[in-house]
A and B are shown apart, each in its own frame.
Chain A
Amino acid sequence: GAVVSQHPSWVICKSGTSVKIECRSLDFQATTMFWYRQFPKQSLMLMATSNEGSKATYEQGVEKDKFLINHASLTLSTLTVTSAHPEDSSFYICSARVLQGANLISPLHFGNGTRLTVT
């Protein structure tokens, strides 16, 4: 159980175009999803926390107008990289937590990630 599906796995786009990445929880409802970015040889860095039905919470230094997050349902969150530039080339990965009653100490369940290359 607790499967997270992320699409696409990889995408190549031209500079100036926008790219949408989808993250779906297949067998559970995720009121909160997390979007991470990883540059080569670095750790996963939290970009934003996506909350169903409300605005996402962005980490310091992450441009909310560039990285648009929509969490319209309990099973789907999307990240749109707008007007992509080569420096946006990175590995993006989403995750969600299955909340177990009052116990919030549950692990994250991750998608497979998306490798974005902007040319």
Chain B
Amino acid sequence: ILNVEQSPQSLHVQEGDSTNFTCSFPSSNFYALHWYRWETAKSPEALFVMTLNGDEKKKGRISATLNTKEGYSYLYIKGSQPEDSATYLCAFDNFNKFYFGSGTKLNVKP
């Protein structure tokens, strides 16, 4: 079983704050790294699929970076809004076999 770790476990920020969290994964045999947003009572929604070292992806106020050599990815949210409140999951894609972190639960207070 591959070890995928996310930190912090939870985060409370004020509306307008920018925030970031980390996903650590094995640096060997890298294939892809996924980020998902999981809102309460909904299904996880794909944010990014990242494959190349140094990759940087952006969707609105959310962006992610990838370092495959050292085995980490950062997710950034600029100017957090209450609707960003969710659990953010990362998953190490080992060629059609996914290993998930425990997630970072973000709460954005208005």
Contact = CB atoms under 8 A, between A and B. Distances in A.
Contacts of B99: 46
Nearest to B6: A43
A6 B43 CA distance: 10
A42 B43 contact: no
A43 B46 contact: no
B67 interface: no
A6 B91 CA distance: 21
A108 B91 CA distance: 10
Interface size range on A against B: 20 to 34
B95 A43 contact: no
A106 B49 CA distance: 7
Interface in B58-86: none
A110 interface: yes
Interface of A is mostly: strand
Interface residues of B, number: 24
A110 B96 contact: no
A88 B4 CA distance: 24
B102 A41 contact: yes
B11 interface: no
B80 to A, nearest CB: 23
Given A105-B51, A110-B44, A112-B42, A43 B103 contact: yes
A109 B46 contact: yes
Contacts of A110: 36, 43-44
Interface of B: 4, 31-32, 34, 36, 41-44, 46, 49, 51, 89, 91, 93, 95-103
13 contacts: A34-B98, A41-B102, A43-B89, A45-B100, A46-B99, A95-B44, A97-B96, A104-B96, A107-B36, A107-B46, A108-B34, A108-B44, A112-B43
